[in-house]
Amino acid sequence: MDWGTTMRRLSIVSLVGAIALGSSSVAAPAPPPVRIALLFGNSDYNLNGQIDSAPMGRYERDLPHTCQRVAAIKPKLAAAGFTVLDYCNLTHQQFEAAVDALKRKYPSMPRGSVVFVYYAGHGSQFYGNPFLLPVMFQEETGPDAASEKARLRYYRLNADELSYLFERLPGDPGVVALVSLDNCRDDPTGDNGVYNNAVTIRSPDNAIVQYATSPGDTAPDDDSYAKALIAELDSRRDVRDVMARVNSRIYRQYVDGQRGTIADTYPGAGITSLSPTPLGLPGRTSPDGPTWALTPSPTMAGPGAPGEATFRREGTPGTKLDIFWCGGGPERQRFAYAKTLAVKIAARADEFGIGRLRIRFLSENKNFHQGFNVRNNLMRYDPKQPAERALLMKLSAAYPDGNFLPQPGKGHGGKDTAGYVSAFVCSATISS
């Protein structure tokens, strides 16, 4: 056998080996998404083994139903495929250990994963800093009690600072965290909520943080928030829709005089562009309707086309509202819903304080390549305009089938939008 033949055979053997090696190194299938829930309830604040009817010394007063709320939420999440870790009566050190354990077990998570955190117990918002109060926490009464900086330092050393939890939640792409806080947000140190009300809580980019009450307020001594949450924990529903529906339920209770405060929801900056993520394990049909195939209908769009219309003219007194419906996917259904919604709002426009009202088409190209990045139903207001937020809370509660989640945002190009709000009908599922 000559040298050339030998080399050709060796080359063939090497090639076959390389192909075999390559086939063995093909990337393994992506790991399936996970569902993990941490549920906390603090009830016996002096850990004496009973629920006292009055505060004991410097300890917070006991709360009789918080651990029962955790027990009621647990089976709903377990049925949705969550691994549920539930805790009752944790000290400051035990709370941090539980949160640290989550970070150690899941330093990263596959795309499509969901982390759900629920807390029921005492809480406060101290000079704009939100805290959860662990059992055995005692209010500062020493010589530094009059010093704002000293009291804040005391809280950070002895209470559960919400930022500690935020820093340990997974931030991987395509992973969402839901944080549901069933606690008070008043300030027992005398701040009287003035500064609290001026502070906007910054949520992690991939999280939705929802309080059972407004800044500076105490939570009702009932199970109204937990019951609203349990009613909406449907495993097939998109996580954003779940929190939007809870928000609307609580607002309607407030309007009806059943509770004295509204829920307060803070979506992170990346929640808008999150792909559809069901609360439970993927692969199920949403109760709000089917997931539609891509059937684009470009003839509906454009100036003067059926997809755009004005329902109240320019110059009409009130806040301007544009309802955008997104192209791609079930766009005909989105258009039909946007048009129906505009008709309904127009009939009550004076009641809401709505001026000019239009429906507008948002193409896929403009949505995903020009800075909108909207994948679900939402409403946007100027963060500098609290009256606009109040308006959208009313609208989202008045039309709960839309699953609209009000959130702050800037206009196109980062412009301020005082006197203007917008709604987006962009969900992959359309309410029936």
Query: Could you tell me which residues come within 8 angstroms of residue 105 by beta carbon, excluding any fewer than 6 positions away?
Result: none
| CA separation for the pair 68, 393 (Å, rounded) | 30
CA distances from 162 to 126, 244, 365 (A): 11, 22, 38
Convert the pLDDT of each residue in 256-285 to its tens digit. 999 988 998 989 988 888 888 999 876 443
* Pick from 340, 327, 325: nearest CA to 295: 327
| CA separation for the pair 426, 362 (Å, rounded) | 9
Alpha helices, H only, 348-417? 349-352, 364-369, 386-398
- pLDDT, one tens digit for every residue, the chain (432 residues): 454 544 445 444 444 444 444 545 566 787 899 999 999 999 999 999 999 988 888 999 999 999 999 999 999 999 999 999 999 999 999 999 999 999 999 999 999 999 999 999 999 887 678 899 999 999 877 666 667 788 888 889 999 999 999 999 998 889 999 999 998 876 654 544 433 444 456 788 999 999 998 877 777 778 999 999 999 998 888 999 999 999 999 999 999 999 988 998 989 988 888 888 999 876 443 343 333 222 333 344 444 455 789 999 999 999 999 999 999 889 999 999 999 999 999 999 999 999 999 999 999 999 888 878 898 999 999 988 989 999 999 999 999 989 998 988 876 666 777 899 999 999 887 654
Domains within the chain, CATH numbers bracketed: 35-267 (3.40.50.1460), 298-425 (no CATH)
Tell me, what's the pLDDT at 414?
A: 67
